[in-house]
Amino acid sequence: MFERTLQDLIRGLRAHKASSKAQEDAFLSEAIVEIRSELKGKDMALKAEGVLKICYLMMLYPIPAPPEFAFHVVEVMSSPRYHLKQIGYLAAPMAFSGDTEEVVLTVNGIKKDLMSPYVPLPPLPLTALPHLLSLSPSLSTTLHPDLLHLLTHSSARIRKRAVLCLLPCWEAFPEGLREGFPRLRERLQDSDQGVVGATVGVVMELAKRQGGKNYLPLAPELFSILTGSSNNWMLIKVVKLFAILTPLEPRLVRKLLPPITSLISSTSAISLLYECVRTCIVGGMLDPDRAEGEALARVCVEKLGGYLRDEGGDQNLRYIALLAMVKIIPTHPAMVAEYQDEIMQSLDDPDVSIRMRALELVTSMVDRDNLQTIADQLLSHLAPSETNTSTLPSAVASLTAIANQLSSTASKDPAITSTSVSLSPAYRLLLTQRLLSIISTDTYINVTDFEWVISVLVDLAYVSHVNVGTEIKRLVSDVVGRVKSAREYAVGVLEKVIGDEDFRERGRSGTGEDGLLEAAVWVCGEYSSYLSSPLSAISSILSPTLHLSSSTLISLSLHATAKIFGHYAATVSSSWSSEKHDEAKALVASIKSGLEPFLTMGEMEIQERAFELTQLLNFVQADLTNHIPPAKKPTSTSVNDMPDMEDGFADSNGSNGDASTPPYPKSLFLLEPLFTAHELNAVAYKAQEAVRIPEGLNLDIEIVPGGGFGELDLQDAEEENSEDEKVIDLGEGGSEGMEELRRVLREQEKKGKKRDGESKEERARRRAARKAKQKDDPYYLYDKNDDLQEEEDIDEIPIVKLDDSDLPEEPIETKSTSRSSSKIKGKTKSKKNPAPPPEFDRTGELPEGTILPPPDTLKSNQLERTASSGLAAVDLSSSFSSIRGSGRFEEYNVGDDEEKEAKIDDRDIPITATSEIEVVKVKRKKKGDKKKKDKAIE
Amino acid sequence: MIHAVLIFNTHGKPRLSKFFTPLPPLIQQSLISQIFSLISDRPAGVCNFLDAPDLVFPTPGNISIAEKGKGKTKERKEEDDTRIIYRHYATLYFVFVVDGAESELGILDLIQVFVESLDRSFENVCELDLIFHFDEVHHVLSEIIQGGLVLETNINEISACVQAASRNRKASAASSNPLIPSALAAPGGRGGNRGGSADGAKRWLAAIGV
């Protein structure tokens, strides 16, 4: 049989690529069959070639590895030939996955190769080891001593590879870090620059993964690299490493400032310059309290701004400038604000990477002055696509009338350059989310005009074409609830939205437009007093296509209809006339017919609401039908399709129409009180927690002792009845039926009072009797403890009124205006002073007398704690004491083994003041330990 | 660290894929095609950094194998850190997937180092070289990056290592094949190799059943 080499295989594949797909597949499967037999054969060279071919094919095609591929790789790895072994080690990372047991088989081979005196051999396993170590923690444990041994190998090439292997090894075997750390430290002073570079890389990764605290003691070595080395790559790494270390040790800043400033001014490598600038920013070196910090910040921002301004220059530099500016914003917002124009331009960049960075930067730049400009520009990025899809000519037309945001800038040049990017749904989603978040950030702290917010939200729902419905719904109802002054405007806009049949249709596919609709329906219902035309609002809410919508929207719509009708009916009574009478009758009829389809709807809630409303309307309709309007008496009452209700109202209105009864039917006031009993306000964050348990209320006590079935039912019923009487104000008059009802109610009330009047003894007696009965009842769960417990009387539980009046409003106006005016001073472009924000409810409702606890940082701390595990949990600070202990960190070394053993499990041991003593001890013991260790290794 | 090094051509055919974080092969391939489609969409003259909102690079990163399951939320946060840096040379894209510990501009330089090292070992490297010497490309890469960390950035040192390794390979291959006169085999490094030429010949004879 003739065996193909890898080259032959590749040639074959290329030859067949030109022909049909089927032929290529046939060739491929043939080749795989061949390779399988090669793998199974005895010839090691063929096997190795087969392994290599499989690796190649697996890179190109989605084929699974042949069975026992890993095993063959192990065989090749153990071949004594260098070139075959290399193939084996090359294939190992591809062949082994987490669950292959073959890794265990390789341990001895790898150990042998690592320790081989033949210098070219150890690099082979070292190349593959990082992958294998991360797969198998046991391998790490076994090979750890060997790796440490290799750290002092005579060949620098092996030393640096060994250093790099330590990272995955410690990752899987965190305990090794304690033993290996001093050895790693020695490598920082290695004679070979490559080894030092590799060590710096490892320290950087370690510091990034477990926090820099353990690596602060390395600062002197790192500092000497920073001042002594000329290798840019290494300098970059060291500078980046210091960015992690300086926040932990502020005194480092003073030491680092001179070398870093000199690097910034002298280096020719932009990459290094940039990293220095970034470290200055991230490492907290720009402390505004210090004079040089401010100057340095100025230098940094100018460098970055220079990159940003460099039009037509390097795009990469613009990208990283934006990246670094995000970091500097929190401390020096004013300096970045000088480059606002450039940053805004970057939002229009054809490069999506730059846009995303600019977007991030812009979101963190937002303040009260620029919110509207920024938001409008973001919105204009979403808008152009609207011309492409153009499904909504009517909506667009009406919207441009509503909102003047889509001004001329929207359709200018960005439309040409950015349409392709704007259409990427993920980018649109990101943009929309950012836009929503800058508006709502910190409970609308930057918003000055809430009507504008409403219009932006509506626009967003129309043009974003991404699914942010829930978010928009939340914001719309939140804004309307909090800001009383914006309600009228909101209702006006949203009234148009609910009438937009095209928009409804878009929402039906579940793309998020429903969110705005739901909010609109709710707002129009809740604040129906602002509706320009309740009649048309009702007809558009109960649109003929409503039954196609989602069930949430339907049930909201039904409820809103009831609210609007309730309000309409109450208002219309003030100017009652025969025209109004006709109008009301027609309205009731049309609502009823609109409800028709939902009476048979499968959804429970919809059906219930539809029936409820229909019954209430029946009531009203009957009343209306029998009512004779004041002007034209006999004409209008002709049709009567509700014979059963006729008895209820006919007589009272028809015959008793004297001067004492008002000129309008009383049933007009049936619905409104159902919805207006309590104004809905925003509830404060933590309000629920803040409700204090009133004194004397013990929540652990059974409210109704003894399970309380019989008695409870009766009392509940009474309470419900009396409540009903209160809520539905039946008023006087009405038919005989009403009289009857009132009589019954009164009697029941009396009965209840009688019950109240019962003496305690009587009640106790009754209870005892009931309990005795229950005892014999096999179906009743009888609690034996009941007898022993002192029974609590319901009536003895004090009823405490929970007061829910609003907290006094925060005086935000004064604060905010002073802030914004100070900001304006700094700007040359003087804008018109923004109006103080409209009064709105920022905090929301809270029970009276509660003080909001400060937002606790505890939670995040805890999260961090729990997140640290594995390598991150290893804390070296317990053994090599900290800088804070004495100020001269050069003297410290890793503690002795016993101490380490004891403290391995301790996480986050605080640095103690007694560390000085520890160190002395450490130094004495260390030599003995080293000897021990060396022995063990040999 | 560097999560992955990829080379693919302008048609999306992978020429090298090296993942330093263990990922199943199928995910690797889907990532390659995802990254390719994103990169190939980008017009000329834009920056070398790819920020794509819809690309999620799964990085087990700093979570040790044992805690992979509960590390999910942490992983989410880390995503933001991952970025893709690429360069376009003739018909090939060189793509590095790195995390925040790497300097963006530094990686761009590193790509240049990688390409120059390839150029030295292949002498005027072109796509065909990479196709037919897929293993050699891996060897060059292994001299620059090991386990996701940078091993060496000096081009001279890199190419010296690559050459040394290929000499060793040739010597070893020659010693295992007695039909090639030993004069052609490079002399160095045989001493340490336990399978010397004489030994190799014997084994070879044994293998073919003589």
Q: Which domain holds residue B119?
A: 2-125
The answer to whether the beta carbons of residues B157 and A194 sit under 8 Å apart is yes
Shortest CA distance from B190: residue in chain A? A118
What confidence tier does A312 reach under pLDDT thresholds 50, 70, 90? Answer: low
Summarised one tens digit per residue, pLDDT across range A460-495 is 888 877 888 888 888 888 888 888 888 889 998 888
User: What CA–CA distance (Å, rounded) separates A897 from A919?
Assistant: 13
Residues of B in contact with A318 (CB under 8 A): 47
CATH of the domain at B110: 3.30.450.60
Same domain, B16 and B63: yes
User: What CA–CA distance (Å, rounded) separates B173 from B163?
Assistant: 15
3-state DSSP assignment of residue A684: coil
Last residue of a domain, which of B75, B97, B125?
B125
Is residue A366 pLDDT above 90, yes or no?
no
What confidence tier does A2 reach under pLDDT thresholds 50, 70, 90? Answer: low
On whether residue B190 sits in a domain, the answer given is: yes
CB contact under 8 A, B103 and A352: no
The number of beta carbons lying within 10 Å of the beta carbon of residue B79 is 14
Q: Does B208 touch chain A (CB under 8 A)?
A: no
Q: How far apart are the CA of B86 and the nearest CA of chain A, in angstroms?
A: 11
Cα-based angle A296, A298, A301 (whole degrees, multiple of 5): 110
- Tell me the ipTM for this assembly: 0.80
User: What CA–CA distance (Å, rounded) separates A166 from A130?
Assistant: 8
Summarised one tens digit per residue, pLDDT across range A159-212 is 999 999 999 999 888 888 888 999 999 999 888 988 999 999 999 999 988 888
Residue A886's pLDDT is 37
The answer to whether the beta carbons of residues A854 and A193 sit under 8 Å apart is no
On whether residue B152 sits in a domain, the answer given is: no
Which residue of B3, B65, B103 to mutate against A (max A Cβ within 10 Å)?
A: B103
The residue to which tokens 């000897």 are assigned: A931
The answer to whether the beta carbons of residues A53 and A31 sit under 8 Å apart is yes
Q: Please give the order of strands across the beta sheet that includes B49-50.
A: B14-19, B2-9, B92-98, B83-89, B49-50
Residues of A in contact with B186 (CB under 8 A): none
Residues of A in contact with B149 (CB under 8 A): 164, 167, 198, 201-202, 205
Phi, psi angles (nearest 5°) of residue A393: -60, -40
CB contact under 8 A, B139 and A86: yes
Is residue A820 pLDDT above 60, yes or no?
no
What confidence tier does A399 reach under pLDDT thresholds 50, 70, 90? Answer: very low
A531-562 as b/e: b if 16+ CB within 10 A? beebbebbbbbbbeebeebeebbbbbbbbbbb
Nearest CB to A117: which of B52, B64, B192?
B192
Residues of B in contact with A312 (CB under 8 A): none
Which residue of B3, B8, B15, B62 to mutate against A (max A Cβ within 10 Å)?
A: B62
On whether residue B145 sits in a domain, the answer given is: no
Is residue B1 pLDDT above 80, yes or no?
yes
Residue of higher predicted confidence among B181 and A689 = A689
Same domain, B120 and B169: no
The number of beta carbons lying within 10 Å of the beta carbon of residue A101 is 10
Residue of higher predicted confidence among A737 and B53 = B53
Average confidence (pLDDT) over A401-410: 39
On whether residue B139 sits in a domain, the answer given is: no
If you average pLDDT over every residue of chain A, what do you get?
Answer: 73
Same domain, B42 and B112: yes
As given in the structure block, the two tokens for residue A335 are 């300096």
Residues of B in contact with A315 (CB under 8 A): 45-48
Same domain, B82 and B177: no
Residue A202's pLDDT is 92
Q: How far apart are the CA of B10 and the nearest CA of chain A, in angstroms?
A: 15
Q: Does B64 touch chain A (CB under 8 A)?
A: yes
On whether residue B131 sits in a domain, the answer given is: no
pTM of the model: 0.67
What confidence tier does A647 reach under pLDDT thresholds 50, 70, 90? Answer: very low
Is residue A742 pLDDT above 50, yes or no?
yes
Last residue of a domain, which of B125, B153, B184?
B125
On whether residue B155 sits in a domain, the answer given is: no
Select, from the ranges A396-400, A810-814, A891-895, B171-175, the one with the highest average predicted confidence (pLDDT).
Answer: B171-175
Instruction: Fill in the DSSP letter of residue B185.
Output: S
Which residue spans within A19-90 are E strands per DSSP?
none
Shortest CA distance from B22: residue in chain A? A131
CB contact under 8 A, A59 and B16: yes
CB contact under 8 A, B22 and A97: yes
Residue B206's pLDDT is 55
The answer to whether the beta carbons of residues A581 and A663 sit under 8 Å apart is no
Residue A826's pLDDT is 38
CB contact under 8 A, A870 and B146: no
On whether residue B49 sits in a domain, the answer given is: yes
What sections of A677-735 are H helices per DSSP? Answer: 687-690, 710-727
A148-171 as b/e: b if 16+ CB within 10 A? bbbbebeebbbbbbbbbbbbbbbb
Residues 5-24 of B with CB under 8 A from A: 13-14, 16-17, 20-22, 24
Is residue B81 pLDDT above 50, yes or no?
yes
Domains contained in chain B, number: 2
The number of beta carbons lying within 10 Å of the beta carbon of residue B179 is 7
Same domain, B94 and B6: yes
Summarised one tens digit per residue, pLDDT across range A211-257 is 888 888 899 999 999 988 888 899 999 999 998 898 888 888 888 88
Select, from the ranges A153-167, A351-365, A777-791, the one with the highest average predicted confidence (pLDDT).
Answer: A153-167
Summarised one tens digit per residue, pLDDT across range B140-177 is 999 999 999 999 999 999 999 999 999 988 888 887 66
Phi, psi angles (nearest 5°) of residue B3: -85, -35
How much of chain B, in percent, has pLDDT values that exceed 90?
30
On whether residue B99 sits in a domain, the answer given is: yes
CB contact under 8 A, A233 and B135: no
User: What CA–CA distance (Å, rounded) separates A161 from B149?
Assistant: 10
The answer to whether the beta carbons of residues A239 and A252 sit under 8 Å apart is no
What confidence tier does A655 reach under pLDDT thresholds 50, 70, 90? Answer: very low
CB contact under 8 A, A198 and B189: no
Last residue of a domain, which of B74, B103, B125?
B125
Residues of B in contact with A871 (CB under 8 A): 62, 64
Q: How far apart are the CA of A229 and the nearest CA of chain B, in angstroms?
A: 14
Q: How far apart are the CA of B14 and the nearest CA of chain A, in angstroms?
A: 6
Is residue B138 pLDDT above 90, yes or no?
yes
Residue of higher predicted confidence among A656 and B104 = B104
Task: Report how many Cβ contacts below 8 Å link chain A to chain B.
Answer: 218
Query: How far apart, in Å, do the first and last CA atoms of chain B sit?
Result: 52
Give the CB-side neighbour count of residue A708, counting CA atoms within 13 A. 15
Residues of B in contact with A198 (CB under 8 A): 149-151
